[in-house]
Structure 1
Amino acid sequence: MESSPCIAHISDDERSQTVLAHLQNVALLAKSFAHPFSGDEQAELAGLAHDIGKYSDSFQKRLRGLPIRVDHSTAGAVECWGRGQPFAAFAVAGHHGGLPDGGSQTDGPDQTTLWGRIKRKEWGLLEPYEAWMQEVMLPKTEVPDFTERSGSEWVFFTRMLYSCLVDADFLDTEAFMEGQSRERYQTSIEQLWNKLQDYISGWFPPEGELNRQRCKILEQCIQEGETRAPGLFSLTVPTGGGKTVASLAFALTHAKQHGLKRVIYVIPYTSIIEQTAEVFREILGVENVLEHHSNVLYDLDRAADPHTISLAKATENWDIPVVVTTAVQFFESLYACRSSQCRKLHNIAGSVVIFDEAQMLPIPYLRPCVWAISQLVKRYGISAVLCTATQPALKPIFREFLPQVPVQELCPPDTCQWDLFRRVTFRQTGCLTWDELTAQLNAHDQVLCIVNTRKAAQEIYGQLDRAGSFHLSTLMCPSHRKVQLREIRRRLKEGLPCRVVSTSLIEAGVDVDFPAVFREIAGLDSILQAAGRCNREGRRSAEESVVHIFKGEEKAPPLFSTAIGAGKAAMARYADIASPEAIHTYFSELLDLKGCDAQDKERILPLIQSEFFPFRKVAERFHLIDSPTRTVYIPWEEGANLVEQLRTGGGGRELFRKLGQYGVSVYEQHFAALEAAGDLEVLENGAAILRNPALYSDTTGLSLEADSGKGLFI
């Protein structure tokens, strides 16, 4: 009598999927995902092997309700390893719990490393699963040629292979459990290109000299998209030159010309992302643009909205034509070991990836970031575009990792007349006390002042004339800042008094337009970002739109000292501190002052090269935002209801994402002082709620003093 087939999944309505069907489906999907980087055979092997541990009697009993734990992932890894296929072995071993470290041959079977897990078979610690051989034939596979070059390339390839496997596994399981496959996005790159052509058609013929220059930049990017082969590019466009639409025009034209499948925008800050994504949605349609970062909420309670559900699902694997995301999301996924983060990686292959403000990549992780971009260009068929005026400073690092691939400029200096885009005059005003500074600020009806610390922002705001004055800093929760910014924009638009003192958060692409800006001495990049908030719309002459650079009465924080030193050197050397030459000098000086070791402070690349597939160690070390802060949730406005849900036992992922709009990050010493004074309620799960509402102001946010009155100089 024939035995009944082994089952992989049982649905809520009691349907069953055989292990064989699941393995074949996953192998086929994974193979298609890996095709753009020649990983087809490896992915097919991993797909067929990943769940053969489910052929064990123990797993079948567990599936039918017996409360036993079964390791079903190691079996497939053992079979791949025994066939001389370590890349597939890693992918299979990690398809549930995350990619393991390789470890060493001395590891015992109790270790979670791959070496340790492989030994579980020879020690007789795996449930017998030999029944797989009656149904499954694992193919003989060849390793792609490039993986023979170096251990670091092996690690990158394995992570991409892992992405193909886990996405295929999730998709097939989801399709079976829900009774239908996920709908793929039907819009083609050519259709998106046509939408862009419709959008820009009204721009021609351009009216006015500025618009003529913008259209020259746009036409140049379209032409370059048609004629350039895939590779590594820079796009240097003056502020106000229409970089957002021009870069999208290059990306869509280039993708259409070369059969690339999507466009991914990588942007340093969420405030820039929100504006960029809104522009793209207007051009391409809301259904074709995924905005993926920590501040975006897709409310799945609205089950009647299939569009929202589709976007929420697209965050899992980026299967959508246009993705707008953060540098944190992009690079931390490339160095992650968990399936939830790695699942999307294979969809980066064969894409146009645009890195906006590439000079803002954190210096402590600069070399790992550049190396990852280089790998994607070299082996995974992407075209990378560095949107920055500071590309020459990054050029030596790219030349080290990609010696045969030059960085090609898409918009050479002679494309347009840069001087026409000059909108401000810089003036160095020397030292100012806070009293002197606030006197000058109060003399303006509309003015922005940006300082280096939250403490300084609160002190200066306290001395401003109250009528029409505003404070912005990260001591205010994001929802509160948005309310303030809406009022600030309204007053600027209507010509009402509007004096704003802010920390650097307003520099990161926040769309405001002041006639005058004061910027405390900082790195040249910060000063130029601040200048982007002055005469932003070009309604005034550059001569009457002044950016005042001053030294405040506080000593600069140590964190800023190197950048300030490099900035001073560039400003002393160049009369025009916004020139490409000054910017290049600044970043070259900054990188030289920091030194090569500081560009990979966690020693990520040496670790990858020296240890055997250290996936977990790398993931633990690679965090682009790595400040020692704690979050305090504020019961402000709508946040009060969310905080109450948290207090009464809520704590799901959706709740915490909503609470993110009402969280303030504070340094450890600030947190400790608030807790010691009894101003915080710390829940069992570690979440902290502000207990004392008197410490949160509607004008300045969270106080820098606990209720004990102790000042915190941060």
Structure 2
Amino acid sequence: MKKDNVFLEPLAHSPPKNGMLGDPYSRHAEAVRQGALERAEAMLRHAHNPPQGLLKAIETAGIFHDLGKLDPVIQAVFRKGRGNKLKWDHIDAGVSYLSSKQDWMAAWLVRAHHAPGLPEKCEHFTEKTDRRLRGRRRDSDAKEKHDEQIAHTDQMIERYLGEHDAAVGMHNVERRRPSHGLSMRLALSCLVDADHSDTAFFDSNCNLPDAPKARWTERLNALCEYVRSLPTGDNEAKHARNKRRREFFEACLDSCIKDSLVACEGPVGLGKTTAVAAYLIRRAHDEDLRRLIIVAPFTNILTQTAERLRKALVLPGEQPGQVVVEHHHRADFSHHDDRELAVLWRAPIVLTTAVSFFETLAACDPATLRKFHAVPGSAIFIDEAHAALPTRLWPQNWKWVRELAECWGCRFVFASGSLARFWENQDIVDKPIKLPELLPTIQAEEVMREERHRVKFAETDGGRILNVQELNSFIRNEPGPRLVILNTVQNAAVVADAMRKSGMDVLHLSTALTPFDREIILKRVVRRLQFQDVRDWSLVATSCVEAGVDLSFRCAFRERFATASTVQVGGRVNRNGEYNDYGGGKVYDFALVDEGITQHPGANVSADILLGLMDTDKLNSANPADVVTLSMQQELKNCGGLPSDLLLKAELERNYPKVKELGRVIDADTRFVVIDPNLKENLKRHNPVDFKTLLQGSVQIWANKIDKLAVEPLTQNKRYSSDIYLWNYDYDPEFLGYMKGVLKMEEFISSGGAVI
């Protein structure tokens, strides 16, 4: 009899393998309640005037989130093992009970804790569709399906509650209004992370490792020692530049600025990464912040920054990869088997892309939001802020940034050598403000004078449009080493391929290569630049190297795009003044039209504005931040201002799916594609793959190209739409990456397709 009772104990999950026991409902419900509560308490320690009852709502959602799994039909399926389809949607029961008790905050959380996540409010709370969060989780399901689910839940709810109380005890539920926007997303993050983490624990019997302690005092001391021990330079130019870097570092370290939002307009090569890190780590120490989050637009910047910070901030006995964590791509997987691969922003120092950071603020799905509760109480460094977001996204994102700073204990620094001060523009933000500047005024004047001698900007052949052969001729005739930056992945591949076929010494670097292969090529570039034994060579790349990377070429060519992009390329030319004795560095602007060349849609307006600024020599005569801000203002004027802000409207109306859609940083639907052959084989066989290995061996490719190329999804089961695809065409790890396969497909190219 005892054996039967154990066997019939309600389950939350099926056994992970045949012959094993299922996951008891009582164990999982209590673990999720406790886990969600702990995450919420850690988050709320940094909140200023948080929504009343938020902690209790998260706890209540944790205990009732799986109430519907007590259905006898679902229990029978659980006991059969995994992979069987469930007739009933278990989320409806928790929503039914919590909404009947008027705890609407907890009801919203239970409704959203599985994909697709937070719904559109008016889909549930209007006279036409007054389902009030009830029914199946996908609003797109037929009305009959929702009605059937609601009727079944209403019939069974008392039975569920009886079994629930018997398993975990009775819990008081209070009336609570929902708190929407960031508060809703943060609360859902606590619930989802607790749920997913405990499910992973049941499957693997392994908890996530404890994150290293912040240890801000020790890390700040280590950073100071690292910076002060750097070489002063082996010539006068390097010595002067390194002196300015040390002065800026000390100024940031000793800064008395206490504002929650700060700007840093230091020009390229001033050592902003370590200086701003010192400022924010000191503030983290003073204000007991949880972590330092560094946000950058390109993954290669993250890799370079991570390497530097691991040298400077990792303490004896620590694992560098656990203290300073990189998060490339958007590795947020919605399927159960992929959860262990998610990156959770738990380390003391987190490096992530601008795409990942800002799309998390706009997210509604559980997989993306899972890590969001780690953000409150963080020092956040938006590096290369000029490229963090397109202007159209700043109105709503600025509201979110302000809310994180004012209500959730975050401290921000916006840094760039070409910083567009959008926060001062009333066409972009509803309440323009001026931010305090980290770079002291006297030092700013000095370094700006130096910039005039370091690099000049010029048009290629008077600004006329070139073809690939003409561009190659101009490149060949300029002294090396040379940097050539194109607007699209395809353009970079076409130009690099043509240059190599013409006999030129060329390296190629773009997101057509995996992070692993890009790192190898980047190291090759660095070695060539360091030793200078051969100077007649070129690097052809995309915008991934135009900002934030410590590279210095003799000259550069930049395909016409935005003013900020061209200014940033100046930071990759004569970076340390090493070519001052040869007349300094030069950046050439060019436009390109030819077979196989694609036009980036984002260049339509900005390129014309840049051409006008080049014609009036503004890039050589004005402060870079002033020029970029002027360019932004002209672009808004030429476009008639920002379009009607649908993102602001969607957030105000609590249309969470629309906010996610409109909040995409890159307005494109890309897919995660695995390149590495061994990695593909391990995934097919369901062998364990850690997240770093997955990220290092994969790329992002546009979804429409996935369809055109018939790229194979990892999951062939028609019940799922896979998050992961497998590349089976030619791949060149030394040069063109996956573009080798694309360029061979003449029909694809001639049909007008493009890989951007």
TM over 0.5: yes
* Identity across the alignment (%): 25
Match of 1:279 in 2: 308
Residues 508 and 735 of structure 2 are in contact (CA less than 8 Å); yes or no, is this contact kept in structure 1? no
Match of 2:336 in 1: none
Residues 515 and 534 of structure 1 are in contact (CA less than 8 Å); yes or no, is this contact kept in structure 2? yes
Please tell me whether residue 589 in structure 1 is matched to residue 589 in structure 2: no
Give CA-to-partner distance per residue, 1:313-337, whole Å, 9 cap, x none.
7954322211000111112222222
Match of 1:22 in 2: 31
Which of 468, 476, 499 is the aligned partner of 1:442?
Answer: 476
Residues 281 and 289 of structure 1 are in contact (CA less than 8 Å); yes or no, is this contact kept in structure 2? yes
Matches within 5 A, 1:187-198: 187-188=213-214, 189-198=216-225
One-letter amino acid of the counterpart of residue 493, structure 1: Q
Helix, strand or coil for the counterpart of 1:138? coil
One-letter amino acid of the counterpart of residue 627, structure 1: A
Residues 507 and 526 of structure 1 are in contact (CA less than 8 Å); yes or no, is this contact kept in structure 2? yes
Match of 1:160 in 2: 186
One-letter amino acid of the counterpart of residue 34, structure 2: N
Helix, strand or coil for the counterpart of 2:107? helix
Match of 2:317 in 1: none
1:62 CA drift (Å): 5.0
Residues 471 and 501 of structure 1 are in contact (CA less than 8 Å); yes or no, is this contact kept in structure 2? yes
Please tell me whether residue 211 in structure 1 is matched to residue 249 in structure 2: no
Give CA-to-partner distance per residue, 1:327-354, whole Å, 9 cap, x none.
1111222222222211111110111111
Please tell me whether residue 393 in structure 1 is matched to residue 432 in structure 2: no
One-letter amino acid of the counterpart of residue 625, structure 2: P
Match of 1:462 in 2: 498
Matches within 5 A, 1:395-544: 395-396=424-425, 400=429, 407-416=435-444, 417-418=446-447, 419-420=449-450, 423-429=454-460, 430-431=462-463, 433-434=466-467, 437-443=471-477, 444-452=479-487, 454-455=490-491, 458-459=494-495, 462=498, 466-473=503-510, 481-495=518-532, 496=534, 497-541=536-580, 544=583
Which of 630, 645, 649 is the aligned partner of 1:606?
Answer: 649
**Matches of 1:428 and 1:126 in 2, distance apart?**
72
Helix, strand or coil for the counterpart of 1:407? coil
Match of 1:81 in 2: 99
1:712 CA drift (Å): 5.8
Specify whether residues 197 and 566 from structure 1 end up closer, same or farther in structure 2 by C-alpha distance, changes over 3 A only.
same
Residues 643 and 659 of structure 1 are in contact (CA less than 8 Å); yes or no, is this contact kept in structure 2? no
1:547 CA drift (Å): 1.9
1:489 CA drift (Å): 3.4
Match of 2:291 in 1: 262
Residues 513 and 537 of structure 1 are in contact (CA less than 8 Å); yes or no, is this contact kept in structure 2? yes
Please tell me whether residue 291 in structure 1 is matched to residue 326 in structure 2: yes
Specify whether residues 593 and 484 from structure 1 end up closer, same or farther in structure 2 by C-alpha distance, changes over 3 A only.
same
Match of 1:104 in 2: 124
1:51 CA drift (Å): 3.4
Superposition CA RMSD, Å: 4.4
Please tell me whether residue 545 in structure 1 is matched to residue 584 in structure 2: yes
Please tell me whether residue 240 in structure 1 is matched to residue 269 in structure 2: yes
One-letter amino acid of the counterpart of residue 448, structure 1: L
Specify whether residues 341 and 607 from structure 1 end up closer, same or farther in structure 2 by C-alpha distance, changes over 3 A only.
same
Which of 47, 66, 81 is the aligned partner of 2:62?
Answer: 47
**Matches of 1:693 and 1:350 in 2, distance apart?**
43
Residues 266 and 355 of structure 1 are in contact (CA less than 8 Å); yes or no, is this contact kept in structure 2? yes
The TM-score with structure 1 as length reference comes to: 0.80
Residues 505 and 538 of structure 2 are in contact (CA less than 8 Å); yes or no, is this contact kept in structure 1? yes
Helix, strand or coil for the counterpart of 1:381? coil
Matches within 5 A, 1:565-644: 565-571=608-614, 572=616, 574=618, 575-576=620-621, 579-598=624-643, 600=645, 603-610=646-653, 613-627=654-668, 639=676
Stretches of structure 1 lacking an aligned partner (at least 5 in a row):
148-153, 298-311
**Matches of 2:581 and 2:156 in 1, distance apart?**
75
Helix, strand or coil for the counterpart of 2:580? coil
1:604 CA drift (Å): 2.2
One-letter amino acid of the counterpart of residue 366, structure 1: W
Match of 2:391 in 1: 363
Residues 36 and 190 of structure 2 are in contact (CA less than 8 Å); yes or no, is this contact kept in structure 1? no
1:155 CA drift (Å): 2.6
Stretches of structure 2 lacking an aligned partner (at least 5 in a row):
315-319, 333-338, 717-721
1:609 CA drift (Å): 1.8
Please tell me whether residue 202 in structure 1 is matched to residue 260 in structure 2: no
Give CA-to-partner distance per residue, 1:401-431, whole Å, 9 cap, x none.
567x753322243244212355212233414
Count of residue correspondences:
675
Match of 1:304 in 2: none
The TM-score with structure 2 as length reference comes to: 0.76
1:505 CA drift (Å): 3.8
Larger mean Cα displacement after TM superposition, 663-672 or 326-335: 663-672
1:440 CA drift (Å): 3.8
